[in-house]
Structure 1
Amino acid sequence: MAKRSFLLALLLASSLAHAERTADPDGFTEPLKELKFNPGLDQREFERSSLDALNVYDPLESWNLRVYQFNYRFDEWVFLPVVHGYRYITPGFLRSGVSNFFSNLGDVPNLLNSLLQLKGQRSMETTGRLLLNTTLGVAGLWDPATMMGLPKQSEDFGQTLGFYGVPAGPYLMLPILGPSNLRDTGGLVADFSVESQINFLNVAEVSGGHPEISALRAVDKRYTTNFRYGQTNSPFEYDKIRYVYTEARKLQIAE
């Protein structure tokens, strides 16, 4: 019995040794030694190769990149310092009142675009918001509508054009305003014109003689926008912003 066990052990050892010398189907006896690693493939190269799949129609890329760089510096050197100063000297309740007031004004184009897109429920909710916030909220300084279950909706004429099949067109980086495209830029102009013509609460007319109101609205808009240039910590931030903006607009139009 002991002799048989010894013979079996010898046969097993022999077969294992033979298996170690037998080449794998791919022809390598030691495949791991044949693996090739590229130590030069750093994070930037990896991101660039990944972003190749995120192409967006951007025939004006060289110009857009210059505008992006301008926006980056303007935000860093002008806009954000002003916002920080605004936060420092203005009490929180007053900042909330300013934000609510301008948000209430923005519900006017929201309502019109909801109607144009035949979104009945959103139209009714936005109408309710305007009525409640303009009356109970004292011209929009407070936002009782949200507390009563009527959340803020976001509709613009760029979305309306997209809803009816107007293509986005080339990507655009607008000075100070940030990412856009040809369709959405036209929509932005249309919304501004409509809001000026309606002159809700007489704000558009008064702002004509008091540019500080428009300046305050711009500061409030930046104050309520969380995005910060450079926050992606990537040399390809422009590409990422372009892609995220484009895909986000598609989702908004599809809602």
Structure 2
Amino acid sequence: MRYHACRIAVSLSLALPLAGCATGVKSQLEVRPWHSINEFRDQRFADVADPWEGFNLGMYRFNYYLDKYLLIPVVNGYEFVTPTFVQHRVSGIFNNLGEVRNLTNSLLQLKGGESATTLGRFLTNTIIGLGGMFDPATRFGLDRHDQDFGKTLGYWGAGSGPYLVLPFFGPSSVRDTGGLAVDTGITYGIYTALDPFADTGHSFAISAGVASLEAVDMRHQQSFRYYESGYPFEYYMVRFLYHEKREIETGKAPTAN
């Protein structure tokens, strides 16, 4: 989760030590084993629209089991057999391909300077960086600007809508889920039009392999692990942090008076 990163980090630094304190006093005080979020309705992390909380909690746990029994073992195996140098090159290629999404959404948000920077990054890393395996663009001062269609919708005034947990992708919202669908559609359309493996005779198998590798690399680059925060209300804290992060990124976060 490039999880305004300062505000998110401050939130985590304040929240996570609470779990450590709770663990330290557990042997001395009698504590109830279960708590309800209803006890904390006046806290800010409860101020996120979540009408489908039951479904989302179930999906959050589903993602935990998906991680535990499938994704993380696969990622661990990938990291074990693949040299770190190669891991970085693979991540670089997929990150470079992601610049197409960044460029599309920067243009849709009418951000001319950012669009030029992103295009410069893509061309530089594609040509000089050998398809993105290396990142000379950053050394040239062309910083990455992560964009997606959910941010584009927010830029043009669309509210986030209710919170929603997606299988595999995790925390989202109605707006961001729609944005993900559009970004995926655009990417698939470009890929289908180019069809880089058409002449191999094994286009479907190669495409499936590349998609699988992309999914493994995506989880490899994400350091978050379910239920390792030690925070007793992890679901609600993740929900709050995701919501705040997206509000900041779309310029909708409340400003201090």
Q: TM-score range by the shorter chain?
A: 0.7 to 0.9
* Structure 1 residues 136 and 63: CA distance shift in structure 2, 3 A: same
Deviations 1:12-46 (A, max 9, x none): xxxxxxxxxxxxxxxxxxxxxxxxxxx77779769
* Structure 1 residues 113 and 71: CA distance shift in structure 2, 3 A: same
Q: Which amino acid aligns with 2:151?
A: Q
> Structure 2 CA distance, aligned partners of 1:195 and 1:143?
22
* Structure 1 residues 226 and 51: CA distance shift in structure 2, 3 A: farther
Tell me by how many angstroms 1:51 deviates.
5.8
Q: Secondary structure of 1:155's match?
A: coil
Q: Give the aligned partner of residue 101 of structure 2.
A: 109
Deviations 1:122-169 (A, max 9, x none): 111101101101111111121111121112210000000001111111
Q: Give the aligned partner of residue 91 of structure 1.
A: 83
Q: Structure 1 vs Structure 2: percent identity of aligned residues?
A: 43
> Structure 2 CA distance, aligned partners of 1:65 and 1:52?
20
> Structure 1 CA distance, aligned partners of 2:236 and 2:155?
25
> Structure 2 CA distance, aligned partners of 1:160 and 1:220?
25
Q: Give the aligned partner of residue 9 of structure 2.
A: none
Instruction: Output the aligned Cα RMSD.
Output: 2.4
* Map 1:94-173 → 2, pairs under 5 A: 94-173=86-165
Q: Give the aligned partner of residue 232 of structure 1.
A: 229
Q: Please list every run of 5 or more consecutive structure 1 residues that lacks an aligned counterpart in the other structure.
A: 1-38
Q: Is the 8 A contact 1:51 1:239 kept in 2?
A: no
Q: Secondary structure of 1:167's match?
A: coil
* Structure 1 residues 121 and 207: CA distance shift in structure 2, 3 A: farther
- Poorly superposed stretches of 4+, deviation over 3 Å: 39-52, 200-209
Worse overlay, 39-48 or 115-124 = 39-48
Q: Which amino acid aligns with 2:227?
A: G
* Map 1:187-226 → 2, pairs under 5 A: 187-199=179-191, 202=195, 208-210=204-206, 211-226=208-223
Q: Give the aligned partner of residue 183 of structure 1.
A: 175
> Structure 2 CA distance, aligned partners of 1:45 and 1:106?
41
**Larger relative contact order (C-alpha < 8 A, sep ≥ 6)?**
2
Is residue 2:78 matched to residue 1:81? no
* Structure 1 residues 183 and 203: CA distance shift in structure 2, 3 A: farther
Q: Please list every run of 5 or more consecutive structure 2 residues that lacks an aligned counterpart in the other structure.
A: 1-28, 253-257
Q: Secondary structure of 1:179's match?
A: strand
Deviations 1:211-252 (A, max 9, x none): 111010000000001111112212311111111100100011
> Structure 2 CA distance, aligned partners of 1:230 and 1:179?
14
Q: Give the aligned partner of residue 239 of structure 2.
A: 242
> Structure 1 CA distance, aligned partners of 2:215 and 2:170?
13
> Structure 1 CA distance, aligned partners of 2:170 and 2:36?
26
* Structure 1 residues 73 and 203: CA distance shift in structure 2, 3 A: farther
Q: Is the 8 A contact 1:196 1:204 kept in 2?
A: no
> Structure 2 CA distance, aligned partners of 1:204 and 1:63?
39
Q: Give the aligned partner of residue 4 of structure 1.
A: none
